[in-house]
């Protein structure tokens, strides 16, 4: 009898040992599966991040290529102005919700048959803006240069010819062109302009000559160039609606403390003129201050070069 119960006890102990062993194995297996699973998940996530990065860089390339195409076919009246504001995304310039927005409306390529209308609208709202003008000597244009200055707006240079193949052919031709537009503005208005907007912006991909050559020259001459960080969209899209112009500007001005808005003063840009009153009203209702560019305006430049370069 005693022998029987001793055997039974041994069997039970053996069973217990087996059970514990099973449980241990199960825990080990579970831990292993968990570890492998986690590694797989990490691998998958890393791969996703990598492939998303690739997609973003591909998209950027495509979009720049598309925009460059638009620009290369530009004639003297239309502007290659579609390059993204690379260098203009200055972190110091990002707006907090309670910042007062400073907005600089800029009009390129004038004077045109629309200049008078733009000036009238600005006058209606007592708003001052900036006109980056080209060289035109017909009597209407000469009057418009004078009106721009007389009515308190800033007049800046946007090259004389606006012909990329001439303006950017070499440093010498850039200098000649710059002197021509500066002299014309001075002769008509008495203002020796020291503000410049590169045709196509400082980041244009049209010039064969490295843009840093021209940038350096402007720096030496004490001429300040301004690009833009907000695009109305009237440069590349001929059929853009008033609504879209307003939307483009309103969507972007909220991002920056200082917004320099690219618009055009050209005969074929009627919707820019039509959009202007409502745009000004919307900006003002957001509490934005609309100002003309001066030498003290926060720089908005796509490409900058360091002094010692």
Q: Is 227 in the site for Zn ion (CB under 5 A)?
A: no
Residues 103, 107, 109, 203: which binds Zn ion (CB under 5 A)? 109
Q: Is 79 in the site for Zn ion (CB under 5 A)?
A: yes
Rounded to a whole number of angstroms, the minimum distance from the CB of residue 210 to Zn ion is 20
**For Zn ion, which is the closer residue by CB, 123 or 163?**
163
| Set 108, 109, 227, 265: catalytic member | 108
Q: Is 177 in the site for Zn ion (CB under 5 A)?
A: no
Alpha-carbon span 68 to 74, nearest angstrom:
10
Residue range at the interface with Zn ion (CB under 5 A); choices 117-125, 172-180, 199-207, 291-299 = 199-207
Can you spell out the DSSP letters for 20-82?
HHHHHHHHHHHHHHHHHHHHHHHHHHHHHHHHHHHHHHHHHHHHHHHHHHHHHT--SSS----
Residue range at the interface with Zn ion (CB under 5 A); choices 30-38, 51-59, 106-114, 277-285 = 106-114
For residues 156 and 193, the answer to whether their CB atoms sit within 8 Å is yes
Can you spell out the DSSP letters for 108-143?
ES---TTHHHHHHHHHHTT---EEEE----SHHHHH
Rounded to a whole number of angstroms, the minimum distance from the CB of residue 73 to Zn ion is 14
98 is catalytic: no
| Set 153, 158, 264, 302: catalytic member | 264
x-or-dash pattern for Zn ion, window 19-58, by CB under 5 A? ----------------------------------------
Alpha-carbon span 8 to 162, nearest angstrom:
105
Q: Is 234 in the site for Zn ion (CB under 5 A)?
A: no
Q: 230-231 and 258-264 as β-strands: parallel, antiparallel, unpaired? A: parallel
Between the CA of residue 37 and those of 26, 40, 42, 46, 50, what are the distances in Å? 16, 5, 9, 14, 20
**For Zn ion, which is the closer residue by CB, 196 or 256?**
196
For residues 216 and 67, the answer to whether their CB atoms sit within 8 Å is no
244 is catalytic: no
Residue range at the interface with Zn ion (CB under 5 A); choices 119-127, 192-200, 224-232, 270-278 = 192-200
Q: Any idea which residues carry the catalytic annotation?
A: 108, 264
């Amino acid at each position: 009898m005693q022998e029987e119960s001793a055997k039974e006890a041994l069997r039970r102990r053996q069973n217990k040992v087996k059970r514990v062993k099973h449980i241990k194995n199960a825990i080990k297996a579970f831990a292993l599966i968990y570890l492998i699973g986690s590694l797989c998940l990490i691998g998958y996530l890393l791969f996703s991040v990598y492939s998303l990065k690739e997609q973003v860089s591909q998209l950027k390339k495509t979009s720049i290529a598309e925009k460059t195409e638009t620009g290369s076919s530009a004639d003297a009246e239309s502007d290659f102005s579609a390059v993204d504001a690379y260098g203009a995304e200055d972190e110091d310039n990002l707006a907090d919700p309670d910042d007062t927005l400073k907005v600089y409306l800029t009009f390129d390529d004038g004077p045109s048959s629309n200049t008078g209308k733009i000036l009238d609208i600005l006058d209606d709202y007592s708003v001052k803006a900036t006109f980056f003008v080209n060289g035109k000597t017909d009597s209407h244009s000469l009057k418009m240069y004078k009106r721009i200055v007389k009515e308190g707006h800033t007049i800046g240079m946007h090259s004389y010819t606006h012909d990329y193949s001439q303006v950017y052919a070499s440093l010498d031709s850039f200098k000649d062109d710059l002197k021509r537009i500066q002299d014309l503005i001075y002769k008509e208005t008495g203002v020796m302009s020291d503000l410049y907007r590169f045709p196509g912006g400082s980041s244009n991909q049209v010039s064969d000559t490295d843009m840093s050559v021209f940038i350096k020259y402007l720096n030496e001459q004490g001429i300040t160039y301004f690009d833009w960080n907000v695009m109305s969209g009237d440069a590349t899209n001929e059929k853009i609606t008033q609504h879209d112009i307003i939307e483009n500007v309103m969507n972007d001005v909220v991002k920056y403390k200082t917004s320099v808005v690219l618009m055009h003063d050209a005969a074929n840009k009627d919707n820019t003129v039509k959009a202007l009153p409502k745009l000004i009203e919307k900006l003002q209702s957001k509490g934005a201050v609309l100002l003309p560019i001066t030498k003290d305006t926060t720089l908005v430049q796509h490409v900058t070069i360091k002094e010692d370069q």
